[in-house]
Structure formats: structure tokens, C-alpha cells
Amino acid sequence: MTAVNLTELALPQLEGLKNQLDQETEFLTSSIAQLKVVQTKYVEAKDSLSVLNKTNKGKELLVPLTSSMYVPGTLNDVDNVMVDVGTGYYVEKNVDDTKDFFKRKIDFLTKQIEKIQPALQEKHSMKQAVVEVMSMKLQQLHSQQPSTTATIKA
């Protein structure tokens, strides 16, 4: 990557660079948001494992069939769960292994977010620098233009 002196770029080039940085910033922000959504789902799934204990065995509960439809059920197995491991595959795991699985997923997503965050900060800083140079160049253009006020002779 070669360094570019922003002051040597023309206003249209600076505008193009600013637009590119806007797009990259938007993409990185969206990526972080999506990672956080997935991370939250894993945290919620890990937390929900706390209901799987001997005291809740045999209790009635509502089982989701869709996001808005539930059927009554009974909690029979408090030792094992079916875990979605991706691409439509489910694996039966015991509760402790499932907690470890979710912890690994949460940690992985946290690391991915931490990798993207500095890139996002860098893009914000670069965009700010471009905006400052654009502002400076616009001020120079305005100061170089001849005065448009006319003097009237009496």
C-alpha cells in the first residue's frame, strides 16, 4: 500500500476517496453488527442451558415450533440437548459440552469483532482527514475567487 499525500489530490479525487471510505466504513459497521447479533444468540443459548437441571425434570414448558407458535411439552432429558452445528446439522451433546461449544463460538466471534474494530477506527480517521483536506481546499478556492461586490460611482 502506497501512501498518498491528500493535499496533492484534486477535489473530485478527494470526493471519490471519501465515498469509498464511507462504503468501507458502512460495510465494517454492518459486519460488526451482524457478528454481535450471532454472538448474542449464542450467549442466550448458553444462558438458557441453566434451566436444564434435576429440579426442572418433568416440568411443563412451551416448545417453539416457529418464532410465533408454541406447543406444550414436558422436560424429560435434562442431561442432553441437540445443538445446531451449522448447515442444517444437529449433534446431541451433554450440557457441559454444549456450554463449552457455545463458549468457543462466543470467544471466536469476540475475536473477530476485535479484529474488525481497529480497521473501522482507521477508516473513520482516514475519512476525517479527507474531509479536513476537502474543507481546506474549498476555503482556498473561495479565498482565490475575485470579489463579486461591485462599487457604484455616484
Running along the chain, 154 residues long, what does each successive block of 10 average in pLDDT?
77 92 96 97 95 92 93 95 93 96 97 96 94 90 67 53
Confidence at residue 48, expressed as pLDDT on a 0 to 100 scale: 92
Calpha distance 132→127 (Å, rounded): 9
- With beta carbons less than 8 A apart as the criterion, state whether 117 and 25 touch: no
Altogether, the residues listed in the chain come to a count of 154
Confidence at residue 151, expressed as pLDDT on a 0 to 100 scale: 54
Domain ranges in the chain are 10-111
Strand partners, 97: none
Confidence at residue 7, expressed as pLDDT on a 0 to 100 scale: 84
- With beta carbons less than 8 A apart as the criterion, state whether 68 and 142 touch: no
151 secondary structure, DSSP code: P
Q: Report the half-sphere exposure of 2 (CA within 13 A, side-chain side).
A: 2
Rg (CA), the chain: 28
Report how many helices (DSSP H) and strands (DSSP E) the chain contains, helices first.
2, 4
- With beta carbons less than 8 A apart as the criterion, state whether 42 and 102 touch: yes
- The CATH fold assigned to 10-111 is Helix Hairpins (1.10.287)
Q: For CA atoms 133, 139, 142, 144, give the dihedral sign.
A: negative
Confidence at residue 123, expressed as pLDDT on a 0 to 100 scale: 95
List the grid coordinates of 139. 476555503
